[in-house]
Amino acid sequence: MEVFALVGPSGTGKSHRATIVAHQLDAQAIIDDGLLIQGNRILAGVSAKRQPTRIGAIKSALFMDEQQANIIKSVLSDLAPGRVLILGTSEAMAERIAERLGLPAPARFIRIEEVASEKEMRKAKYLRTCHSKHVIPAPTLEVKKSFPGTLVDPLQVFLRKKGVPGKKDWLEQSMVRPTFTYHGKLTIANSALTAIAGHAAASVKGVSSSGKITIKEEDCCVFIDIAPTFTFGCRLHEVASEIQHKVKEAIEDMTGLQVKEVNVNIKKLSFLKEKTEATG
């Protein structure tokens, strides 16, 4: 197995460039901030950006937790990649990560200055310093699993297809605001969640009103009970299923919270009276 390392100061755009560099090196896996990433999947790990403190983030990035390090080792053993790209703020950090995971020492160090312009690094630094935005080289849906309760924005990058001039492959990365930054903590009132769920349910054909909605949050996961009024004559199971889909989609897209359950209680029907014209 060959190990490469992309190194540079924090906030200079390493994670944003990671996918492109891995593609150029034919590296099948990326190790970044506590995560093991392959293509568009997070295979294992606990993101450093999920930690509540900066010290916790550093420990996570260095795989100081023995259990987490062993999980990554096991997944790497099963994956058996030919090449791995490690991201670090310095050569010493990349070497330490490799050692913690039982990997060979990096055969080559790539400086961020080699793959990003001064302008691109300034922009990355601005986003980190002024807006506390961090990039994770994985798609939004994957990142939301690791970041429940955090707003995640998609970030598109493109790769040039090797041997095919003019052809590009678009890949999605994610931008988050970690919990250890000032802007990263997000609290959403139950009244706001209720309003989102009610609007989503009312938009479904066959629903007269969204009815009573009860929302419970546990560990950044949402459990919803909703008792809408259905229009008489509609297919109840189909409408109920559509309500579940719409409510889950709306809550997750607008808040970043993970919806575990949407329970639809069928209790009321609305009988719409048809208007008839008087004849004389």
How sure is the predictor about 83, in pLDDT bands with cuts at 50, 70 and 90? very high
CATH code, 2-131: 3.40.50
Indicate whether 279 pLDDT > 80. no
In the chain, CATH 3.40.50 sits at: 2-131
CATH code, 190-270: 3.30.70.1350
Residue spans of beta strands (DSSP E) within the chain: 2-7, 29-32, 35-38, 41-45, 83-88, 108-111, 134-136, 153-160, 168-176, 207-218, 221-231, 258-264, 268-270
In the chain, CATH 3.30.70.1350 sits at: 190-270
In a 10 Å sphere around its CB, with 0-12 CB exposed, 13-18 middle and 19+ buried, how is residue 68 labelled? middle
Asked if 193 and 209 touch (Cβ cutoff 8 Å), the reply is no
Distances (CA, A) of 169 to 86, 132, 144, 157: 23, 28, 23, 8
Mean residue pLDDT of the chain comes to 81
For residue 84, give the 3-state DSSP assignment: strand
The answer for residues whose C-beta is within 8 angstroms of residue 154's C-beta and 6 or more apart is 139, 140, 172, 173, 174, 175
Q: What is the pLDDT of residues 264-274, one digit of tens each?
A: 998 888 886 54
| φ, ψ of residue 164 in degrees (nearest 5) | -125, 90
User: 196: closest CA among 252, 274, 238?
Assistant: 252
Indicate whether 220 pLDDT > 90. no
Highest mean pLDDT among 109-113, 151-155, 187-191: 109-113
Q: What is the pLDDT of residues 161-185, one digit of tens each?
A: 555 455 555 555 665 666 555 444 5
Q: What is the pLDDT of residues 94-105, one digit of tens each?
A: 999 999 999 999
Q: Where are the alpha helices (DSSP H) in 171-235?
A: 190-202
